[in-house]
Chains A and B, each alone.
Chain A
Amino acid sequence: MSKYGWFGFLVCGAVWFGDILHPASIAVATSSVHAAEPAAHLEATVEIPRLNVSEYHRPYVALWIADQDRQVAANITVWYQLAGSREGEGTKWLPDLRQWWRRSGRGLEMPVDGVSAATRPPGEHTVKLAADDKRLAELAPGQYDLMIEASREVGGRELLTIPFTWPPRKTQTHDVQGTTELGKVSLTLTP
Chain B
Amino acid sequence: MKKLLAILLIVALSIMGSSFAQAAPVGSLSVTQGSGDSLNLSGSCGASNCTSATFYAKSNQFAGSNFMQIGQAQVDSVGKAQISYTPTWTGNTPFKVNFLGAGGSLIATQTLTFDVVKDPSGFPQSAIQFQRPLDSTGAIFVKILLTIVALVWLTLLGSFFLVVIRVPKLSKQASEEK
Do A and B pair up? The answer is no
The interface of chain B, by Cβ under 8 A from chain A, is: none
